[in-house]
Amino acid sequence: MSIKTNNKPLVYKTHIFYKMVNSIKSNFVWIVIIALFILGCSTEEAIEEPKKQESISYSEEDSNENALSIITLNLRVHIMKDITMVHPTGFPLENWVTTDDVEKTIVPELNDIWEQAGIVWSIESILEENVVKGENYQESLNYIVNAKRDSNGNSDPERLPHLYSLMQPQHRSAEENLRNNLFHIYLFPFIGNTSQGNAMKSFNNHSVVGTWTNKHNGGGIPEKTLLTESHSSFTRGSLARTIAHEIGHVLTLSHNECANECLMGGTNSDGYQITDSQIIASRIEAIGRSF
Ligand SMILES: [Zn+2]
């Protein structure tokens, strides 16, 4: 009895154990199916997810590799005032470009053109600057309005010191600050016949452009330079494109670096392009001056 009694619980325990085993056995197939299903799902995810991530990160890396990091450079635009330049044709030329024209039309277009190099021009200031009227003032104006290109097509370098003499010294970059992140554009009424801009390399890159021009009519009566012009139907050039070009010189680029027109110098939509090597060269110079 005692054995029976003693066995009862054992039998009972064994019975429960059996029930459990049987239950597991009978459900084993289902457990395996469920486990496989879960495992299958997670395995699928484990395989697919990294693939997805890989392809996303690849495309991100890929686009990052192609997208140039932005370099921001500061621009000071000087609108030269208190100056009337009487052209030999008898036409009086005064500055007509406004600060609004610079801020809302010229600089946005300048940035549109320079976007290809990842360079952004930020307006440091737009100064309405009265010209310096030294003792040779009138002589300088006469020289500039009569300046012409030579038989080789080169513009007259002798007009440049005259233009420089009209700039207020306190608004130029001091010698010790020339390599800083500050670039100058001077808008003069006129900078010489058939000439629209000059980077003024020998005058510390205080670049000049004319708001009147007779380049498009071969030295005839000057007309207002266009603020911007459609990239696809280039006919005259514009202030924005001329500034983009001169600033390219300041960033070390020169003409004739490519077989086709470059440095914004062409006569069609290609005239807004710079070459890959020019992009690299301009970015090296820009980075060096961007701090
Ligand atoms: Zn040039």
What ranges make up the beta strands (E) of 22-135? Answer: 71-81, 85-86, 92-93, 119-130
Whether 1 shows a pLDDT value over 80: the answer reads: no
Q: Residue 237 has what pLDDT?
A: 81
Q: What is the per-residue pLDDT across 27-64, written as a single tens digit (0 to 9) for each?
A: 544 444 444 333 333 333 333 333 333 332 333 444 55
pLDDT digits (tens, 9 = 90+) for 195-233: 999 999 999 999 999 999 999 999 999 999 999 998 877
Relative to beta strand 85-86, strand 92-93 is antiparallel
Residue 236: predicted pLDDT:
82
Residue 35 Cα to ligand 1 midpoint, Å, equals 74
Mean pLDDT of 252-278: 73
Residue-wise pLDDT for 269-291, tens only, equals 666 888 888 999 999 999 999 98
CA separation for the pair 138, 163 (Å, rounded): 12
Q: How far is the CA of 62 from the centre of ligand 1 (A)?
A: 35
What pLDDT, in 10s, does the model give residues 151-168?
Answer: 998 999 999 999 999 999
What is the residue extent of each domain of the chain? 1-67, 71-288
Write down the pLDDT at residue 270: 62
Query: Which pLDDT belongs to residue 289?
Result: 95
CA of 248 to the centre of ligand 1 (A): 8
CA angle 203, 204, 205 (to 5 degrees): 95
**Given pLDDT bands bounded at 50, 70 and 90, which one contains residue 23?**
low
CA of 196 relative to ligand 1 center, distance in Å: 10
Q: How far is the CA of 215 from the centre of ligand 1 (A)?
A: 14
Q: Which two tokens stand for residue 138?
A: 């009138």
| CATH fold for the domain made of 71-288 | Collagenase (Catalytic Domain) (3.40.390)
What is the C-alpha separation between 121 and 101, in angstroms, rounded?
A: 15
Instruction: For residue 234, give the nearest of 265, 275, 199, 259 by alpha carbon.
Output: 265
> pLDDT at residue 110 above 90?
yes
pLDDT value of position 115: 95
Task: List pLDDT tens digits, range 118-145.
Answer: 999 999 999 999 999 999 999 999 999 9
Query: Which string of DSSP letters, residue by residue, matches 122-134?
Result: EEEEEEEEEPP--
**Whole-structure pTM value:** 0.77
Per this entry, what is the length of the chain?
291
**209-222 burial, b for 16+ CB within 10 Å, e for fewer?**
bbbbbbbeeeeeeb
